[in-house]
Amino acid sequence: MKKYLLLLGLFGGSAALTSCEKYLDVNNNPNNPVVSTPNFLLPGIISNGIQTQMFTALRTPYITQYVVSRTANSGGNDQYYFTNAQSTNTFNYSYFQSGGNIGPMIAAAQAEGSAYYVGAGKIMQALILAHATDMLGDVPYTEAYLGGSNYTPKYDSQQQIYATINQLCDEGIVEMQKPASANFRPFYSTSPSESGDILYKGDASKWVRLAYTLKARQAQHLTKKQNYDPAAVLALCDKGFTSSSDDAQINFQTAVLPLANTTNIFGVTRSNFGGATFAANVVKYLNGTTYPGVIDPRWGVLVPTTSTGIDPGLGTAATTTGINVTPGSSPAVTDFYGGWYARDLGYFEVLTYHELKFIQAEAYFRAGNLQQAYTALREGVRANMAKVGGGGTYSPPTVAFPTISTAQINAYLASAAMPQTAGAITLRQIMEQKYLAMFLNPDVWSDMRRLDFRSDVYVNFAYPSRANPVLAAGTTASARFPRRLLPGATEVTYNPNAVAKLFSDAGATTNDDYVTKPLWFDMP
Amino acid sequence: MKKFYWLPFALLPSALVAPPGYAQTTPGAAAPAPAGTVTGVVRQSTDRTPLPGVNVIVKGTSNGTATDANGRYTLAGVPAGATLVFSFVGYTAQERRADGSTLDVALAADTRDLDEVVVLGYGIKQERRDLVTAVQEVTSKDIIDSRQPNIVNALQGKVAGVNITSSGGGAGEGASIVIRGGTSLDGDNQPLFIIDGMIMDNSSFQESTAPGGGSAFNGLLGRSVGAANRAGDLNPEDIASMTVLKGPAAAALYGLRAANGAVVITTKKGQAGRTQLNFRSQFSIDEVNRLPKMQDQYARGSNGIADATTRVSFGPRFQADQPIYDNLGNFFRKGYSYQNFVNMSGGSDKVSFFASASNLQQSGITPQSKYDKTTVRLSGSAQISPKLSVTGSAQYLNSGATRPLQGPGLLTSAGTSSGGFMLSLLNWPRNDDARNYLNPDGSRRRLLPLGSGTDADADNPYWAAERNPQTDRTNRFVGNVQLSFAPVKWLTLSHNIGTDWYTSRSTSVRAVGTSQVSNQNGGIAETVDQTRLTTATTLATFSHDFGEKLRGSLILGNTIEENRTEAVDYLGLIFQNPNFIGLNNTVTRSALQRDAKRHLIGNFARLSATIFDQLIVELQARYDQSSTLPRPDEGKIFGKGFLYGSAAAGYEFTKVLGLDQNPILNYGKLRASVAEVGRDTGPYRVLSPLTSNTYIGGGVRNDFYGSNPNLKPERTRTYEAGINLQFFKNRLSLDFNYYRSRTIDQLIAPRVSQATGFILQYINGGVVTNEGQEISLSGTPVRTAGGFSWDVLLNFYHNTNNVESLPAPLTVVYQSDAFITNVHEGGAFPGHAISGIAASDFARVNDPNSPYNGQVIINATTGFPTVNPTFVYAGNRAPRFTTQLTNTFTYKGLSLSTLFDFRVGGVVVNGNDYYQTTVGTSNRTLDRYKTVVFDGVVATRDASGNTTYAPNTRPTELTQSYYTTVLNTVGTPFIEDGSWARLRYLTLSYALPARWLGGSSSFLKGIELNVTGRNLVLLTKYSGADPETASAGAGVRGGGSGGIDYGNVPATRGVDMGLRVNF
């Protein structure tokens, strides 16, 4: 009996030992893969990378006075009150939702030999970093994306980030200029499902032009620097976008599960702007106030013709009173939702041909080549008007947009709002046309900052009523405006040492103080 | 003579192993006789007082009688050598051979006897006198006496060192249990549940954390519905005992999942003898205990003016003739429940069986809510040969509920208006009758029109209860088979294999026309969870008794566990036919798979030795290999093994002092132990999985959670010392424990800088300590010869939980499941308990050199206090100490039992008041329009930029804006003391005298009637509903969600009326 038991025990024991290892080997996730081919990672990198800018655009249009709060003295961004939470998405989407996937995608693309994916990864990283640093200043890069190995990454200086952006663009351009044969995998595919390059549907040459346009934008930010070189900017512009069909933009779409929140961040469905109305700053340009008698063809497109425009801090009546509402909306919604850029299924522009034309115009202007500046300015205005002048009816709320004819564009180009000769061109004209064409775009704030919100350039810009007293008490004209966003709330909590360094580097002790400190690009 | 102390088979009835020493026999029995009459006296074993009403029965027959008022019995027709069974409620039954015409018996009370056997798990039983670690047992009688359908609630007040929190008063709502404070910052801190030697599931439904799942997917958040805890599925009548193993020393044997202690459930088995049939029926009525208060002075409107575009109650004063509706009070109704239990047991010496069935039907205190539970169980055992025996148990459990949507509701951010039923009631203007919820065309009557794409109107609570039901249904099988083989006297081999397998289906309906965000066109979300826990344990038990000098046992064991979940989430949106509720009727649908598997192999050894019958030494070691922990050195993502164990000793000092027969102190034991236990993590945390990109373009992206290839086990070390004293011949027993534990290398997934590429990151780090004392005092202060007795059980518990450190640079670990209002969140701060609460506070002077340091800073322009939005530590939700006192008075068949429950300390977040303040229904807002000067200081900045402070003198009016923009952003004013004193239950029961039932020969063996009042008295300074609440449910990890009162179903009080019949 005992012998049998012993044998049984030995047999059982040895069997157990050999099967032990196998029994424990069940820690591979059956729900989701840990690796992916690059074509399924790139769509999210592109869309979420661009969505980051949409989140920033919930804030910056109040600073740049496209919109103001409908509530008088609301204590919001239009009166220069900021919170860390308002910056959280700008930071977090840059690094988690989009940026965190770039490294693994590039690695997968390099492993299989797909040059365009490597290039797109680098250019998207440059685009993401450029936006993050222009809004926030110093941001992590050299110690970013390290997961549990470094969960308190240090921040790199903006100067270093600018160099990184250029380097990433250059490296991306090299990859994108390789022949299609250098790719193991098609750069874009619709079968069996859409994957790969959802931005340009596989056109690598457009990525090259995007990279150059981005480089041009960043280089143009440095107009305060001694070594600012308009010729270098113009050289980049020459390699940039060649028409509006090159525009880097995301087209919004109806949300179909499992996709969510794919409609316009400015739209009525996402309802982020129910408490906003158009600022007087923008209305005055369009309705013939700034240039008496000159009605912009975009009046009624960008802004409903019933809008009065309000200066920040003053507020307007409730929507129930029918003032500053979308015409015909029932129940009444704010007039903001009656604009072209608030269409639920509209588009969000990151970087456009018309912006490039204004960059070119300013660089030529600064280089003293007024004739070329004049040409570029007119082309920028024309391109934007043509793009938003398609007309059509959209809902909700139901809004019919007028078309803008070539004749109308030409009439405007011939109006008092525009210089009629190269010699008559001014910086103000370039910047105000750029401002109107880049409607709601966060980078407009970069222009305003490097031009110190000059009242001779931005003539309609109004200092907010009952502005944050810390800013309002600023002793110099340029210190009275917000120059950067606060660090994201999650960074304050989870990376406090890095945030403390931001404050000490900036020489700020309070949040209100901090936002008035110019960034590196904004300093001589 | 050598005595063999066997560690017995799981199947053997405990009566068989009761050592003979305590059975009192009358010497000099007469010679055997044929069938005759046996007479005798039954006494109480400790003080020898006669016991009336004891059942005496000839084993295996229906021939029986009961003792009279003097404890005397006479039973005729007893065959020679027959066995008599003596049984009485509250006493250990005895079986004695009737070898003569007289047989006197002493019965021992069945809760405190030293020789009583305690089941420790895996079928290991140990005599109480040999215990050297903190173990407390709750018997079947106590569980049934509590009248709680949920066995976790039934433990309330019965065990020192245990904190039980009911989530709320909804029908079938869960309760959480934490033993000796939580050890884990982020993990589940509830104990391991073991049923008949196998691991049992006691989880609660929680939102899936998968991206695109949970809050973003079906919206059925733990905090939106008061989910059940799975131990509540069990039938309380099936349970023979529940043993609570408190520390890791007691739990080291049961593996890493018992790091927070263990609750070991032993189910009832058949008793040899006459087949017994028990029937119990209970009817209960419940009503809401306390409701939040609402102001009745101001009607709907803003700034004192009636305003139909808002729901808030900052409008004009009510006119004298204007009706004021009690919408909150009107909503709640009486809840009824009907419970029926039947069980049957019997068997011969070789084979026994136990069969039971139960059913519960309950209607809740909120409209439409209901809960039902049905159980069927069969267990049996067979002695196949003298050496081989088999026992098995199988039970089928079915439970389900319809629950209201509570808290912040589905997919809504905290504090917005389209939340659950309670928030809707709390902001319903009192000049409007919420009961009028339908328009003539059958659509929902709205207070506010639908906006374009937005909806600020909360769902009417009656409408939501009817049209947006949250339902769930669980079908569950729990069963095991155990084989025991004893080849020689000193060795027993056993194998136990069992499974706990269930399918749980949770459905959330959103009707067309609901205000629930993104669901206005209707939808249905369903989660199907299939969970299977399988445990297979093989034990070799060696035991030997070398006489007075040494006896002991060695157990070698192996256990294999599998924990498998297969879950799918379905979501369909937009009903095509608005009146047909079904997935196929939806326009857009999506699905998500969430499978998980975890394997564990444990090998363990346990050596227990008793030297000179007074020194007990116990050594335990266990080596676990878990599939979830990586072996980075070997390049493997699974199977890390780790060793831990415990050493404990006990010393019966009364032996050496010769106090055994001392009339005052007759027993005393000192004990001490040290233990370490490890803990693993969840599956799939080594390599970061990708997940669906739910934004434009689809594809995949990184998951919220960053994985970590270097995870190692979390470890808890505990030191414990205790003393057990028995006085007055065991009439009074005192048990005292002191413990100190330290948990290091916490497995946590804190939020980190998203520059890491992730939102949360799995790491090891952080230290949590617990230190506490438990005092348990039990006894029978009075027992008279007349049949009156008074029993007392007093439990005192004090625990200090402390987060010693967090991994740098974390300053807090939040429990995001307990992020309930906008301004309060559960959080663990260094230097405070893990059950802390974080909240925003008024901005205060932070300058130690200023005489105004700590004072509130007042806005010089508005005269209102200013608020600092950064969350700060704002109190501990766990009590400082608790005391529970159970008194039982018995006189003959009449018994009165009460449980008083005292809790001192522990804060409660009055989230309802916070919400009501912002919508103008809180009594707090009755101060509106008053002019006040807020205490505090005004800051001014001098020319050199220095800030100076001066006392505030600015009078200001308490406007609507003060409530909605100042108080709305600050959490600390809504945190209150949650101390209480309550009469948790009072039970009066009466057992009809046997002679009324026709004497011993009647087929009716007993009838007991009882009436119980639950929560009859609640004394507390807390201003809201019942402070015992956990609005995010029982399943919240870390510090849990206890002490957060926000929009859930308030607790109830009620009456139970029951009848028990024995055949």
First to last CA, chain A: 94
In DSSP terms, which residues pair with B901 in a beta bridge? Answer: B884, B982
Task: Say which residue, B652 or A243, is predicted with more confidence.
Answer: A243
| Chain A residues with CB-CB distance to B808 below 8 A | 152
CA distances for B99 relative to A169, A290, B34, B81, B96, angstroms: 102, 119, 10, 5, 9
pLDDT band, very low/low/confident/very high, at B207 (cuts 50, 70, 90)? low
Which letter, b or e, does each residue of A50-88 get, where b requires 16 or more Cβ atoms within 10 Å of its Cβ? bbbbbbbbbbbbbbbbbbbbbbeebebbbbbbbebebbb
Residue B25 has pLDDT above 80, yes or no: no
Instruction: Look up tokens 């110190």; give the residue.
Output: A452
Share of chain A above pLDDT 90, in %: 84
Residue B333 has pLDDT above 70, yes or no: yes
| Chain A residues with CB-CB distance to B765 below 8 A | none
pLDDT on residue A88: 94
Residue B5 has pLDDT above 60, yes or no: no
pLDDT band, very low/low/confident/very high, at B390 (cuts 50, 70, 90)? very high
Element (H, E) at B671: strand B665-679
Instruction: Give the one of B571, B638, B808 whose C-beta lies nearest to A25's C-beta.
Output: B638
| Chain A residues with CB-CB distance to B212 below 8 A | 258, 260
pLDDT on residue B21: 34
Residue A501 has pLDDT above 60, yes or no: yes
Instruction: Give the one of B698, B758, B809 whose C-beta lies nearest to A495's C-beta.
Output: B809
Question: What's the rounded Cα separation, in Å, for the pair B22 and B2?
Answer: 17
Determine, for residues B452 and A333 on separate chains, whether the beta-carbon distance falls below 8 Å. Answer: yes
> Two tokens at A459?
């003539």
CA distances for A57 relative to A87, A124, A478, angstroms: 11, 19, 22
Contacts of B967 (CB under 8 A, 6+ apart): B914, B917, B918, B924, B973
Residue B294: what are its φ and ψ, rounded to 5°? -130, 145
Question: What's the rounded Cα separation, in Å, for the pair A282 and A440?
Answer: 11
Write the DSSP assignment of A193-247 as a string of letters.
S-EE-TTTTT-HHHHHHHHHHHHHHHHHTTTTSTT--HHHHHHHHHTS--SGGG-
Share of chain B above pLDDT 90, in %: 52
Judging by DSSP bridges, how do beta strands A188-189 and A195-196 pair with one another?
antiparallel
pLDDT band, very low/low/confident/very high, at B11 (cuts 50, 70, 90)? very low
Listed residue (B543, B620, B572, B500) closest to B199, CA to CA: B500
Instruction: Look up tokens 């518990």; give the residue.
Output: B797
Which letter, b or e, does each residue of B603-636 get, where b requires 16 or more Cβ atoms within 10 Å of its Cβ? bbbbbbbbbeebbbbbbbbbebbbbbbbbeeeeb
Residue B454 has pLDDT above 70, yes or no: no
Instruction: Give the one of B453, B696, B756 whose C-beta lies nearest to A47's C-beta.
Output: B696
Count Cβ atoms below 10 Å from residue B831 Cβ, excluding itself.
10
Residue B210 has pLDDT above 60, yes or no: no
Count Cβ atoms below 10 Å from residue B120 Cβ, excluding itself.
24
The tens digit of pLDDT for each residue in B956-982 reads 999 999 999 899 999 999 999 999 999
Write the DSSP assignment of B260-318 as a string of letters.
T-EEEEEE----SEEEEEEEEEEEEEEEE--------SB-SBBTTB--TT---B-SPBP
B residues 309-338 near A, CB within 8 Å? 309
| Chain B residues with CB-CB distance to A194 below 8 A | 697-698
Element (H, E) at A407: helix A406-413
| Chain A residues with CB-CB distance to B519 below 8 A | none
Instruction: Give the one of B689, B695, B812 whose C-beta lies nearest to A44's C-beta.
Output: B695
> Two tokens at B760?
């949360």
Q: What is the mean pLDDT of residues A291-303?
A: 95
Write the DSSP assignment of B345-407 as a string of letters.
EEE-SSEEEEEEEEEEEEE-SSTT-EEEEEEEEEEEEEE-SSSEEEEEEEEEEEEEEEE---T
Q: Are B122 and B557 in contact (CB under 8 A)?
A: yes
**A83 Cα to chain B: minimum distance (Å):** 9
In DSSP terms, which residues pair with B402 in a beta bridge? Answer: B370, B471
> Would you call the peptide bond into A186 cis, given omega within 30 degrees of 0 as the criterion?
no
Residue B15 has pLDDT above 50, yes or no: no
pLDDT on residue B14: 32
Residue B418 has pLDDT above 70, yes or no: no
Determine, for residues A36 and B700 on separate chains, whether the beta-carbon distance falls below 8 Å. Answer: yes
Instruction: Give the one of A24, A83, A153 whose C-beta lies nearest to B753's C-beta.
Output: A153
Q: Are B434 and B331 in contact (CB under 8 A)?
A: yes
CA B783 to chain centre: 34
Determine, for residues A40 and B699 on separate chains, whether the beta-carbon distance falls below 8 Å. Answer: yes
pLDDT band, very low/low/confident/very high, at B1003 (cuts 50, 70, 90)? confident
**A20 Cα to chain B: minimum distance (Å):** 8
Question: What's the rounded Cα separation, in Å, for the pair A287 and A299?
Answer: 6
Residue type, B111: T
pLDDT on residue B34: 56
pLDDT on residue A109: 97
The tens digit of pLDDT for each residue in A193-250 reads 899 999 999 999 999 999 999 999 999 999 999 999 999 999 999 999 999 999 999 9
**B617 Cα to chain A: minimum distance (Å):** 29
Q: What is the mean pLDDT of residues B859-866?
A: 91
pLDDT on residue B10: 30
| Chain A residues with CB-CB distance to B450 below 8 A | 331
| Chain B residues with CB-CB distance to A47 below 8 A | 693, 695-697
Q: What is chain B's mean pLDDT, rounded?
A: 86
Q: Are A33 and A71 in contact (CB under 8 A)?
A: no
Q: What is the mean pLDDT of residues B507-523?
A: 85
| Chain B residues with CB-CB distance to A2 below 8 A | 487
Question: What's the rounded Cα separation, in Å, for the pair B420 and B822?
Answer: 15
Residue B692: what are its φ and ψ, rounded to 5°? -65, 135
pLDDT band, very low/low/confident/very high, at A13 (cuts 50, 70, 90)? low
Question: What's the rounded Cα separation, in Å, for the pair B460 and B466?
Answer: 10
B residues 741-770 near A, CB within 8 Å? 750-759, 761-763
Question: What's the rounded Cα separation, in Å, for the pair B700 and B212?
Answer: 12
| Chain A residues with CB-CB distance to B751 below 8 A | 490, 493-494
Q: What is the mean pLDDT of residues B1058-1063?
A: 89
Residue A357 has pLDDT above 50, yes or no: yes
Contacts of A264 (CB under 8 A, 6+ apart): A252, A270, A341, A342, A343, A344, A345, A346, A348
Q: Are A252 and A380 in contact (CB under 8 A)?
A: no
In DSSP terms, which residues pair with B938 in a beta bridge? Answer: B858, B950
Residue B839 has pLDDT above 90, yes or no: yes
Determine, for residues B696 and A259 on separate chains, whether the beta-carbon distance falls below 8 Å. Answer: yes
> Two tokens at A266?
């400015």
| Chain B residues with CB-CB distance to A27 below 8 A | 627-628, 630, 637-638, 683-684, 686
The tens digit of pLDDT for each residue in B114-138 reads 556 666 666 667 777 777 778 888 8
Listed residue (B854, B766, B848) closest to B811, CA to CA: B766
pLDDT band, very low/low/confident/very high, at B13 (cuts 50, 70, 90)? very low
Q: What is the mean pLDDT of residues B336-352?
A: 91
Residue A96 DSSP symbol: I
The tens digit of pLDDT for each residue in B269-319 reads 887 777 889 999 999 999 999 999 999 999 999 999 998 888 899 999 999
Residue of chain A minimizing CA distance to B708: A148
Determine, for residues B452 and A145 on separate chains, whether the beta-carbon distance falls below 8 Å. Answer: no
| Chain B residues with CB-CB distance to A97 below 8 A | 695, 701
Chain B interface, best mutation among A2, A21, A27, by max B CB count within 10 A: A27
Listed residue (B106, B91, B134) closest to B22, CA to CA: B106
Residue type, B55: N
Listed residue (A420, A405, A428, A294) closest to A358, CA to CA: A428
> Two tokens at A490?
């999650």
Question: What's the rounded Cα separation, in Å, for the pair B609 and B590?
Answer: 60
Contacts of B633 (CB under 8 A, 6+ apart): none
Determine, for residues B753 and A268 on separate chains, whether the beta-carbon distance falls below 8 Å. Answer: no
* Residue B639 at interface with chain A, using a CB cutoff of 8 Å: yes
DSSP strands (E only) in A46-174: 67-69
Element (H, E) at A446: helix A444-450
pLDDT on residue A165: 98
Q: Are B616 and B610 in contact (CB under 8 A)?
A: yes
B residues 443-482 near A, CB within 8 Å? 449-454
The tens digit of pLDDT for each residue in B706-745 reads 999 999 999 999 999 999 998 887 889 999 999 999 999 9
Q: Are B764 and B747 in contact (CB under 8 A)?
A: yes
Contacts of B860 (CB under 8 A, 6+ apart): B938, B939, B940, B954
Q: Quote ipTM for the complex.
A: 0.92
Kindly report which listed range (B491-505, B625-639, B662-676, B909-923) carries the lowest average pLDDT score: B662-676
* Residue B587 at interface with chain A, using a CB cutoff of 8 Å: no
Count Cβ atoms below 10 Å from residue B485 Cβ, excluding itself.
17
- SS3 state at B75: strand
Q: Are B681 and B628 in contact (CB under 8 A)?
A: yes
pLDDT on residue B1: 32
Question: What's the rounded Cα separation, in Å, for the pair B690 and B692?
Answer: 7
Instruction: Give the one of B558, B595, B693 whose C-beta lies nearest to A31's C-beta.
Output: B595
The tens digit of pLDDT for each residue in A454-471 reads 999 999 999 999 999 889
Residue B317, burial from CB neighbour count under 10 angstroms (0-12, 13-18, 19+): exposed
Count Cβ atoms below 10 Å from residue A493 Cβ, excluding itself.
21
Question: What's the rounded Cα separation, in Å, for the pair A125 and A52?
Answer: 12
